[in-house]
Each structure stands twice: as structure tokens, then as C-alpha cells.
Amino acid sequence: MYRIEKTAETADNIFEFWIHAPHVARHARAGQFLVLRIDEHGERIPLTISATDGDSVRVVFMAVGKTTTQLAAMSPGESIRDVVGPLGRPSEIRKWGTCVVIGGGVGIACTPIIARELKEAGNTVIGIIGARNAGFLLLEDEMRETCDELVVCTDDGSKGFHGFPADILKERLSTQTIDAIWIIGPAIMMKITSGVSRPFGIKTFVSLNPIMVDGTGMCGSCRVTVGGETRFACVDGPEFDAHEVDFDELMQRQRIYGDSERRALEHYHEHQCRCGGEGHE
Amino acid sequence: MSKRPADERLRDFGEVDLGLSEEEAVVEAQRCLQCKKPACVGGCPVCIDIPGFIAAVAERDFRRAAAILRDQNMLPAICGRVCPQESQCEGVCILGIKSEPVCIGALERFVADWERAQGIIPPAVAPPTGKRVAIIGSGPAGITAAAECARAGHAVTIFESLHEAGGVLTYGIPAFRLPKDIVAGEIEEVLALGADLHLNHLVGRSVPVEDILAYDAVFLATGAGLPFFMGIVGEQLGGVYSANEFLTRVNLMHADRFPEFDTPIVRGSRVAVVGGGNVAMDSARVARRLGAKVYLIYRRREDDFPARHAEVANAREEGVEFLCCANPVRILGGPAVTGIECVRMEMQDPDMSGRPTPVPVEGSAFTLDVDVVIEAIGQGPNPLLVSLIPGLIRGKKGNVVVDEDGATSVPRVYAGGDVATGAATVIWAMGAAKQAARSINAMLEKS
Ligand SMILES: Cc1cc2nc3c(=O)[nH]c(=O)nc-3n(C[C@H](O)[C@H](O)[C@H](O)COP(=O)(O)OP(=O)(O)OC[C@H]3O[C@@H](n4cnc5c(N)ncnc54)[C@H](O)[C@@H]3O)c2cc1C
Ligand SMILES: Cc1cc2nc3c(=O)[nH]c(=O)nc-3n(C[C@H](O)[C@H](O)[C@H](O)COP(=O)(O)OP(=O)(O)OC[C@H]3O[C@@H](n4cnc5c(N)ncnc54)[C@H](O)[C@@H]3O)c2cc1C
Ligand code: SF4
Ligand code: SF4
Ligand code: FES
């Protein structure tokens, strides 16, 4: 059992949890994730490791379906049944020169840890974070502290630049030298944003989020096509060369369980009403 | 051995074979000729004293029978159920030449179940030696080695990446063939000897390789869990599964009880399973229990099925339709599967394994309407950990190379089971684990 130590709702429907998991926290590096299962009946879901502190890890997640909704309702002192990690390969941290780290929506969760490790390796780091509106922005202070420069944008202009991170990236690429780029966010945002750096031939990493089960390379649920080859995102990734990724296929595979996911959430809400949120019978 | 009728067993995941009654077991045991040079023992990978335990059954001394089994086999309730007896002990039983071989597996199962019901007498454990042994993986190989090293008095730690122990016994083989309380019970017995189990620990990530190499001895039992895909068009469509994923969703995550359990699965109304081994049969029979019409597509002839004979018969009784001498070339649909295109195969000269080589017949393509495709075409050794250990020599297929003692190219590191042999059987994994554990115990005694 893994104890929840601290919780907060840091933006609209976006939650920040600190979980006591020494085996994960002590070895986690930028770009890696964990898989958790709340209880006996739970699904195994992957979440990026957003920070570590001693024996605890931080995850930041949006309540979108059954598991994340159930998790969001948990309080400090309660426990999660299973946490395994750190999983996946760490980000390719080395001295690149000038790096841009872009986070979109809940994908911003993963950016401070990458930015920090890049800084520690001697890079100049430009951060770009974007969200639908000001209410969905997260970890802005943390990114500002870590990066040499931070650009904030919102789709509706409610804060910072009115537009998308892709617009900022395009402008920067044509005015300064950039050596490596990280883009983390929804698949469609990663597809569009990495399209901007393609003509410049600059190394661009994206962190893929296909549906996973074990997260250890045993099931193949997370398979993605990269450079024409089938790769398992949980062990070969989750970060891949953006310009080689088949994003359309990724998005198609992410939708496989759409109907089931809606049913699971309905079942959860119904059940909650009947038994006062005590969980399963 | 009596079985539940097919229409009844399709409604649940309860065990299909009901086992022998005491009377049946005694009568069956009396058939054994008690051969002076018993062929059956040579057919058992762990050399159980088969006539010995059968004689005890015939005399109704089940406690003695159980003790004889336990001497060589820590997991008799499992092996009695899943060993491919026809190609091992029963395949060489002398009675099999003229009539039916003794049902050694069923007798083994009977004794193990009797013993469990009566309470198992745990083996003696030597006083603590102060030596530490790390076991990576909790499948049959890891569990067996853990028991042997713990009995020798070493401090044993088992690391398992999943949230439950048992390896393929837990996530792969379905409950209707191997009830999960039996697996859990046999693992409990091993832990009772003093071994420690750390779940949710992926060695190489949650535990660095240096920490593992700091143990006095290491046994790698990470199995062959890497699923192969055919590499044909349409494989990324929704509804295409590796057998590992399909079986894991049901056996480990209980997707058959969605939404009571949270993990979903595409059940399908018409399912194609590709392959002819145990993994394919299990997938097909699980898909039947989820309510689908099931085709099993195999490129060779029915006689060539590598699966256990009993499971092929069970699958047939449960209405799985076999399409032999056929091979998929393309999966149709988008975004979900709508069909699978196959070609007929013709059998030509035997290959190295003595089986005929299947060759596609030109112009023989045909299409099946299906909405789920399950690929059960084989698995390779998990590369993650073994590729991180410096100096560890691996064979062409990624398997860890070991000598006859189970030793790898790295000092104090041993390996056994599917990670060394490639996908094999439970009892072979256990046999290799016993050998490696013996070598580890001998090495630690000297040091
Ligand atoms: C490597 C990786 C890192 C991730 N990091 C984060 C993170 O830091 N914060 C965050 O909010 N989300 C993250 N996700 C996505 C997160 O796992 C899903 O939001 C979560 O599984 C949804 O579960 P649910 O039951 O609440 O929703 P569901 O109702 O099950 O699904 C809602 C959405 O999540 C997707 N999804 C469902 N199950 C999975 C699964 N097992 N794996 C991946 N996606 C799934 C579905 O396609 C759907 O779009 C990450 C995914 C991956 C693969
Ligand atoms: C569906 C199916 C049906 C089968 N049916 C039969 C049958 O009827 N009869 C028969 O004899 N055989 C059968 N087999 C084969 C048999 O199950 C295997 O040969 C046997 O389980 C191998 O045992 P093992 O201990 O080597 O590996 P496994 O059982 O694969 O166990 C390996 C364990 O190691 C864990 N692991 C892997 N990497 C790490 C890591 N880095 N850190 C921590 N843990 C790790 C895995 O999660 C797993 O639990 C079947 C196999 C399958 C898949
Ligand atoms: S362990 Fe397997 S091969 Fe050996 S006697 Fe038992 S059933 Fe036969
Ligand atoms: S070969 Fe058959 S008959 Fe002979 S001892 Fe073995 S089980 Fe009995
Ligand atoms: S999640 Fe199972 S192989 Fe990646």
C-alpha cells in the first residue's frame, strides 16, 4: 500500500498528489512514469512522474474518466494499492545547447523535471506552456524558476500570449538557434507542434501516451509506429523522435475503449450515490 | 477424470476437469505395473519417483504419496493440471504401448489436492546462513528457486514487477484450467519458508542492477513475456490483441467482470485466434466464455497443434472452430477490425523440428468476418533487465545463455525457465530452477 501524503486541486479539475513510494521516488528520472492501481477492482493507469522529494513522488492529473475521478476524490492519509515504477526510458538529457521545453494542458506536469535536468546538464532552457485558458495553466511558478525564459500562452488569450505554443515555437525557430525540443501534451497538440520543427531538422522529442496495461513490455497494448516500426511505448519510450511518429494511428488507438470508459464512469457515479462513496461492495 | 459439460462450463471460469475421486484414484493407481526400470521417470523433467508415489496411492497412504511428490516438485497441484503429460511422463509409460498409459498427471493432482485439504507439512528449513539471494520474477522458475534457497537457510528476496505473484500461472493460464486459489496457495507455501516477496518492483528500474549484483547470488527468472506480432497490415486496429494482452486483461485484471472491475476489453462477437499452442487454445476458450463465436487459425495441420491434447479436445467441445492449414495475411477494417484475410497453406517437406513446412497456396485467399483478432504466435524473453546487466551473454533469440548448472556468463548470476530456454513449459522452468538453486546453494556453502 502506498500512502497519499498531500493533495491539491491546482487548476480546473487538475490535481496534484504526493505519494509515498520509495522504490519509485529514489530512482526516478525526467521523462519516466509510474503505473498505479487504486484498489482490488482498479485499472492500472500510467501517470508521468512530475517531481520527487525524498521517498515521495508527485503526479499531476486531470480527472477525465473513472480512475482519475476516483483518485481525485481521495484524501491525504488514504492509500493506493499498487504503484510500480519508475517506468520507461529517461529523457535524453545531455548538453545540447539551447533547448525548448513545451507543455500543453496537463502535459505541463512533465515539463519542470525535464527542464531542471536539462539546466543541470548545462543547457539554456526556454519553457513554453499553453492551456485552453488561464484556469487550466499549471506549475507556472515552478517553470519560471527553472527555465532561463518562460513563455505562457492561452488559446483564448485570458493570460499571456493569445495563441498556441506552436506559434511561439515557429517564431523562435526563425530568429534563434535551437538545438533540441521537447513537446508534451495531447497527441493532436504534439502532432501539430512538432510539425513546426520538422522543416528545420531539429531533434524533437514527444512523450507518447497510448493505452497501457502492464507498462513493462509484456502486453503490446502500448504499441506505436515510429519510423515505420512497431515499438512499445512503455519500454522503448515514452519519448520518441517526433518526426518519426505516426500520430494518427496513436490517436485512433487511444479511442478504442471510448464506450467502455463512459460506462465505467457512469457505473462509478451510480455506485457512489447508492453506497455513499464507500467504493465497491 | 470427469469433466463439466461444455454448455455449463462456457458460462463461467470455474475449473473444467473435476479430478479423480479417492476411489477412482486408487483404482487408477493399481493399474501401474511398478516397472523395475520405470520409463515414466525419465519422461518427467524433474524425475519424480512416479512408481513410488503411485504405489502409495494404491495403498491409500496419501501422506506418503504427497511427501514423495514434494521431494522433487514444490508445485504438484499446478503440474498435475498443466504439464503436457502426453509428451512427458505419460508419453513414455509402458502401458501406453498396448493400451492407455497410467493417468500420472491426474494422480499427481489428486494427491496434491488431498494434501492441500489436509494441511501441508512444510519441509525443514536450515538455520540462517546470513547469505542473501535475489530472485527476479515470481513465475514457476522464480518460486521454485526461492523455495530451494530458502530451505538451505539463505535470506531470499523475490522481486516481481506485476501486482500479483505467479507469472504466467497468474496472468496467462486461465482459471478454468488452473484455479487462482491453487496458484496463490502454492506461492504461500513458499513464502512460509521465509522468502520475502516485493511486488510492483521492476528490476532494472525500481531496483538498480548494481543493487541486485550486490546480493551473494542472483537468479534471473524473468520469463518469456515479450509478445511477437505477425507484422501484417491492420495490426494496429482497435480489437487486435496479443494473446498476452487479451489474457492479462481477463485473468489478471478481470475484464470479464467489467464494469464491476475497471479494466475494459473488446469482447467481439466473432473472434479469430491465430496460433496452435496452449496460448492460442487458452485465448480461444476465454473468448468463447466472453460470448463470441471463435475461429482458431493455424498454419499447419490439426495433428501438428503444439498445445496439450486435452486442451485441444476441450476447445473443440466448447465450440471453437478450427481452421487449419490457413494463415492470415491482412487484417481488414478501420478504426475497428471488420475481417481477416487468410490464405490456404500446403504442407511440404518436414523442417528441422520434423513438422511439415507450410507454404501458401496461390490464389487461395479468403476472408472471415471478425471483429476481434488475437495473435498467439509466440513470445520471446523479456529484454528489459537482461540487456542492462553488463557482460551477460545472450543467444540469437535473446535468451540468456546458461551452462548445465544454470550459471550465466556473469559470476554469481544464474538464470532458468523461459528467459533461458524461450517459451517452454512450467515443469521445464521448475527443473531448471531446481538445478540453478542447487548450484547457488553449493556455491554459497563454499564461499
Ligand atoms: C506514459 C503516460 C503518461 C501519462 N501521464 C499522465 C499525466 O501525467 N497526467 C494525466 O492526467 N494523464 C496522464 N496520462 C494519461 C492517463 O493515463 C489517462 O488519463 C488515464 O489512464 C485515464 O484513466 P481514467 O480511468 O480516468 O479515464 P478513462 O475513462 O479510462 O479514459 C479517458 C482517456 O484516457 C485515455 N486512457 C484510458 N486508459 C488509459 C491507459 N491505461 N493508458 C493511457 N491512456 C488511457 C483514454 O484513451 C481516454 O482518452 C499518461 C498516459 C501515459 C501512457
Ligand atoms: C497462456 C499460456 C498458457 C500456457 N500453458 C501451459 C501449459 O498448459 N503447460 C505448461 O507446462 N506450460 C504452459 N505455458 C508455458 C509456461 O507457463 C511457461 O513456460 C512458464 O510459466 C515459464 O516460467 P518462468 O518462471 O520462466 O516465467 P514466467 O511465468 O513468465 O514468470 C516471469 C515473471 O517475471 C516477472 N518479471 C519479468 N521481468 C521482471 C523484472 N525486470 N523485474 C521483476 N519481475 C520481472 C514477470 O512479471 C513474471 O511474473 C503456458 C504459457 C502461456 C503464456
Ligand atoms: S511433474 Fe509433470 S511430467 Fe513430472 S510426473 Fe508430474 S505431470 Fe508428469
Ligand atoms: S511406466 Fe507406467 S506402468 Fe511403468 S511405473 Fe511408470 S507409470 Fe507405472
Ligand atoms: S503497456 Fe504492456 S507492453 Fe507496454
Select the residue from A39, A66, A213 to test the B interface by mutation, using most B Cβ atoms within 10 A.
Answer: A213
DSSP A88-151: SPPP--S--SEEEEEEEGGGGGGHHHHHHHHHHTT-EEEEEEEESSGGG---HHHHHHHSSEEE
DSSP 3-state helix, strand, coil percentages of chain A (rounded to 5)?
A: 35, 30, 35
* Residue A248 to residue B27: CA distance in whole angstroms: 64
Residue in B317, B318, B319, B337 with CA at minimum distance from that of residue B328: B337
**Which cell is A3 given?**
500512502
Q: What is the CA radius of gyration of chain B?
A: 22
> Cβ contacts (< 8 Å) between A256 and chain B: which residues?
238-239, 266, 335-336
Determine the pLDDT at residue B438.
Answer: 95
Q: Which of B161, B227, B229 sits opposite A216 (nearest CB)?
A: B161
pLDDT at B332 exceeding the cut of 80: yes
* Residue A140 to residue B139: CA distance in whole angstroms: 46
CA B308 to centroid of ligand 3, rounded, Å? 13
> How confident is the model over B213-267, as pLDDT tens digits?
999 999 999 999 999 999 999 999 999 999 999 999 999 999 999 999 999 999 9
Cis peptide bond N-terminal to A238, omega within 30: yes
Residue in A265, A188, A205, A215 with CA at minimum distance from that of residue A47: A215
Q: Which ipTM did the prediction report?
A: 0.93
* Residue A27 to residue B226: CA distance in whole angstroms: 24
CA A32 to centroid of ligand 5, rounded, Å? 14
Same domain, A123 and A236: yes
* Residue B152 to residue B194: CA distance in whole angstroms: 11
DSSP B349-396: EE-TTSSEEEEEPTT--EEEE-SEEEE-S-EE--HHHHTTSTT--B-T
Main-chain dihedrals φ then ψ at residue A198, nearest 5 degrees: -55, -50
Q: Which ligand is nearest to the CA of B386?
A: 2
Same domain, A246 and A267: no
> Cβ contacts (< 8 Å) between A43 and chain B: which residues?
253, 261-263
Determine the pLDDT at residue A227.
Answer: 95
Determine the pLDDT at residue A263.
Answer: 87
* Residue B272 to residue B339: CA distance in whole angstroms: 9
A218–B207: do the CB atoms touch at under 8 Å?
no
Determine the pLDDT at residue A39.
Answer: 94
CATH number for the segment(s) B229-377: 3.50.50.60
What is the model's pTM? 0.94
Residues of B (310-349) whose Cβ lies below 8 Å from A: 334-336
Q: Vertex B10, ends B8 and B14: CA angle to 5°? A: 80
Residue in B68, B4, B57 with CA at minimum distance from that of residue B26: B57
**Cβ partners under 8 Å of residue B186, min gap 6:** B74, B75, B77, B78, B143
Q: Where are the beta strands (DSSP E) in B35-79?
A: none
**Which cell is A41 given?**
477492482
Same domain, A124 and A77: no
Domain B6-118, CATH 3.40.1130.10 — does that match?
no
Determine the pLDDT at residue A214.
Answer: 96
Ligand 1 pocket, A238 CB below 6 A? Answer: yes
CB B30 within 8 A of CB B36: no
Closest residue by Cα to atom 50, ligand 1, is: A47
* Residue B368 to residue B171: CA distance in whole angstroms: 29
Same domain, A71 and A107: no
Same domain, A104 and A62: no
Residues of A (55-114) whose Cβ lies below 8 Å from B: 66-67, 81-87
Determine the pLDDT at residue A281.
Answer: 37
pLDDT at B120 exceeding the cut of 90: no
> Cβ contacts (< 8 Å) between B236 and chain A: which residues?
223, 225, 230, 249, 252-253
Determine the pLDDT at residue B122.
Answer: 83
* Residue B397 to residue B400: CA distance in whole angstroms: 9
CB A250 within 8 A of CB A240: no
**Cβ partners under 8 Å of residue B445, min gap 6:** B152
* Residue A57 to residue A34: CA distance in whole angstroms: 9
CA A133 to centroid of ligand 2, rounded, Å? 49
Q: Is residue A93 part of a domain?
A: no
The mean pLDDT of chain B is 94
Helices (H) and strands (E) counted in chain B, each on its own, are 18, 18
Of the options 3.50.50.60, 3.20.20.10, 3.30.420.280, 2.40.37.10, the CATH number for the domain spanning B132-225+380-446: 3.50.50.60
**Which cell is B316 given?**
473443440
Same domain, A30 and A17: yes
CB B433 within 8 A of CB B148: yes
* Residue B262 to residue A228: CA distance in whole angstroms: 33
B207–A249: do the CB atoms touch at under 8 Å?
no
Q: Where are the beta strands (DSSP E) in chain A?
A: 2-11, 14-20, 33-37, 45-48, 51-53, 56-62, 79-80, 82-87, 98-104, 124-131, 149-154, 161-162, 180-184, 203-207, 223-226, 229-232, 239-241
Q: Is residue A281 part of a domain?
A: no
> B68 to each of A117, B52, B59, B120, how far by Cα in Å?
59, 7, 14, 13
pLDDT at B173 exceeding the cut of 90: yes
Quote the crossing angle between the two packed helices B278-289 and B309-317, to the nearest 10°.
20
Same domain, A102 and A214: yes
CB B306 within 8 A of CB B324: no
Pocket-forming residues, ligand 5, beta carbon under 6 Å: A 212-215, 217-222, 232, 234
Main-chain dihedrals φ then ψ at residue A183, nearest 5 degrees: -130, 120
CB B127 within 8 A of CB B165: no
List the CATH number of the domain containing A77.
2.40.30.10
Main-chain dihedrals φ then ψ at residue B227, nearest 5 degrees: -75, 140
Instruction: Please report, for chain B, the start and end positions of each structural domain, with discontinuous segments joined by +.
Output: 6-118, 132-225+380-446, 229-377
Closest chain A residue by Cα to residue B231:
A230
Same domain, A44 and A72: yes
> How confident is the model over B335-393, as pLDDT tens digits?
999 999 999 999 988 878 778 889 999 999 999 999 999 999 999 998 999 999 999 99
Flag residues of chain A having pLDDT under 50. Answer: 276-281
> How confident is the model over A218-237, as pLDDT tens digits?
999 999 999 999 999 999 99
* Residue B251 to residue B236: CA distance in whole angstroms: 23
Determine the pLDDT at residue B119.
Answer: 87
B260–A280: do the CB atoms touch at under 8 Å?
yes
> How confident is the model over B129-147, as pLDDT tens digits?
999 999 999 999 999 999 9
* Residue B346 to residue A79: CA distance in whole angstroms: 58
Q: Would you call B243 helix, strand, or coil by DSSP?
A: helix
Q: Is residue A121 part of a domain?
A: yes
What's the total number of domains in chain A? 2
Determine the pLDDT at residue B2.
Answer: 83
Same domain, A17 and A123: no
Closest chain B residue by Cα to residue A32:
B205
Determine the pLDDT at residue B354.
Answer: 78
Residue in B372, B247, B320, B294 with CA at minimum distance from that of residue B6: B320
Same domain, A69 and A125: no
Amino acid, res. B294: V
Q: Do domains B6-118 and B229-377 have the same CATH topology?
A: no
Same domain, A172 and A216: yes
Provide the residue range defining the domain that includes A41. Answer: 2-88+258-275
Same domain, A71 and A22: yes
**Which cell is B220 given?**
534471473
> Cβ contacts (< 8 Å) between B229 and chain A: which residues?
220, 223, 230
pLDDT at B1 exceeding the cut of 80: no
B372 burial type by CB count under 10 A (0-12 exposed, 13-18 middle, 19+ buried): buried
A41–B229: do the CB atoms touch at under 8 Å?
no
A230–B205: do the CB atoms touch at under 8 Å?
no
